[in-house]
Amino acid sequence: MSDLQTILIQVSGPDEPGISAGVLAVLDRVGAQVLDIEQLVIRRRLTLGLLVAVPPNQDALKELLLFGWEHGLTVHFEVIEDDDPTIEGPGEGPSEDRHVVTLVGSQLTPAELLAATQAIADGGGNIDRIFRLSRFPVMSYELTVAGGDGDRIRVALLAAASRFPGMDVALQREGLTRQTKRLVVLDVDSTLIRNEVIDLLADEAGSGPEVAAITAAAMAGQLDFAESLEQRVATLAGLDAAAVQRAQSRLELTAGARTFIRTLHRLGFVTAIVSGGFTVFTEPLCAELGIHYGQANVLEERDGVLTGRLVPPIVDRAAKATFLQEVAESEGLSLEQTVAVGDGANDLDMLRVAGHGIAFNAKPMVNEVADTALTVPYLDAVLFLLGIRRGDIEREEIRDVDGLS
């Protein structure tokens, strides 16, 4: 390529069909070689960048200027004297040197975005690309970062997030591992649903305040889960099927839960729920939402009445982690391909073993262990951590309504 000149071409202006094709047609006519190309459209305004090698003393630049004038575009040229065509562009190079940062918040103000981008720079990272994932129900952006020290970037991002409680941040390695996530395992109480099911049953049994106090201590890690669960279940002795059905009728799905599960299924994900609660709640949830796997504790009953005891074994934090591993194995997936979402101490082991552990509106001790902590109240915000855009979700929703898919 010693007889060719390397030029960076930047085209900007109003977008319309055929702009990219027209630019490339000019380059083809003059015998240029395209070394790299990037394009972005924001609010119908185009930014197109091309790195090209062109023969000297030819009219490519004049033709491009004429094309730009005809279409109301600004065309800028820069001669690259020291360009090495082997240098990797965005999306290339070893995955160890690349990360994805996801920012989620109700607004994401300039100050919040400044804090996040400065944190990346402080960690030695360079932002290759920024694009919006969503503006409803929350704002979210994905930033592709090249270079830097992942641990330093993570620490800096967490420090930035601590200064802005309305901003959640996630740092993940870019590469095939992130792109091949295929199993999502969710906790149920205060994650998939807003309720704590033991509290719903306790209200029916008249032991609500007693059970609520034990539940709070157990979820904060202050009590042994199995022992505390047996204490709470003992207060339910004598409840009949009608009382259980009344408790079931009070279940409230977390905002965005249906969209979350439906979108995962469209994308071919396997979904599972695992709960320290009870099968009388999880089995109807699996049937209603089409969830593939479920595991929970079984309430012992006799003649249609709860005895106040559990049928062993008890689903505790270790059992949750084992369940995730067993589902992954049965689906032929590695643990790196799994995502776990939970909020309490009972979810800690599951979050640790998953490829990506997400604390969802969780207790402080859970936030410290999880790979990512989300504080927004919408479960479908987890989709943005997987790189899924809100616009794509909405288009699929419309296709379903129109009967096209």
Q: Which residues carry out catalysis?
A: 187, 189
Of 368, 370, 390, 315, nearest in space to 346 by CA: 315
Q: Please report how the helices 241-248 and 197-205 are oriented relative to each other, as an axis angle in degrees rounded to 10.
A: 140
What DSSP string describes 250-274?
T--BPTTHHHHHHHHHHTT-EEEEE
Q: 3-class DSSP state for residue 9?
A: strand
Q: What is the CA radius of gyration of the chain?
A: 27
Residues 6 or more apart in contact with residue 365 via CB below 8 angstroms: 220, 221, 345, 348
Report d(CA 355, CA 339) in Å as an integer.
Answer: 6
C-alpha angle with apex 206: 205 to 212, nearest 5 degrees?
95
Helices (H) and strands (E) in the chain, counts: 16, 15
- Name every residue whose Cβ is closer than 8 Å to that of residue 60 and which is 6 or more positions away in sequence: 26, 27, 30, 32, 52, 54
Q: Residue 342 pairs with which residues in a beta bridge?
A: 359
What is the spatial order of strands in the sheet that 356-360 belongs to? 305-311, 293-302, 270-278, 183-186, 338-342, 356-360, 372-374
Selection from 100, 90, 19 nearest residue 51 by Cα: 90
Q: Which of 131, 185, 132, 115 is nearest to 358 (CA)?
A: 185
